[in-house]
Amino acid sequence: MPDTRDRVEQDRGLLKKIQLVIPGYAGYRRREDIRAADNLLRIQVANQMKSVRGDLEEIRDGMAMDGKVQGLQTIGNAIFTIEGLEAKIRHAEGGYSGLSATIQIKETELDKLYEYDYAMLESLDQAAGLVQAIRDAADPKAFEIAVKTLMKSLSTFETAWKSRSNAVTGIQVR
């Protein structure tokens, strides 16, 4: 995934480029661009989670249609977990919120947020990779193991998300 900060910088219009050279305004412009990049990243993560959730819902629906009730609760719990995480990500505050925000983040602190973002993306990619293993599980035991492994990936994702939220607000999130 390309660095969204680079993409935002590339997409600057003439007015934004002019703003970068105005004393006192350049820092504000850079922070707004970083906020836009943060928002784009969160949208991409939430959309990827939605895709994984959709795949799991498709598997669950197929199981129900085939009368395979064993494992429905397990996969339902995974879907529920993803749905909750997706909502948290999609509706979270941005990494930087402008001039008069309640929570302000310095540019140097934003780089630390990207480390958390990377951990989140890595665990989400791992979870997405497990969908096929869940789909291909030949027996109930293999199915349970695959879903359990997916849940561990989601737990790692949530831990990174909570660490990121704590870094943004300075408040422990539970």
Summarize pLDDT for 35-66 with one digit per residue, the tens: 777 778 888 889 999 999 999 999 999 999 99
Summarize pLDDT for 132-170 with one digit per residue, the tens: 999 999 899 999 999 999 999 999 999 988 888 777 666
Is the Cβ–Cβ distance between 88 and 163 less than 8 Å? no
Confidence (pLDDT) at 127: 93
Closest CA to 33 of 19, 47, 48: 19
Q: Tell whether the model's pLDDT for residue 11 goes beyond 60.
A: no
Is the Cβ–Cβ distance between 91 and 84 less than 8 Å? no
Does 131 or 22 have the greater pLDDT score? 131
Confidence (pLDDT) at 167: 76
Q: Tell whether the model's pLDDT for residue 67 goes beyond 70.
A: yes
Specify the pTM: 0.72
Residue 70: burial class (beta carbons within 10 Å; 0-12, 13-18, 19+)? exposed
Confidence (pLDDT) at 169: 67
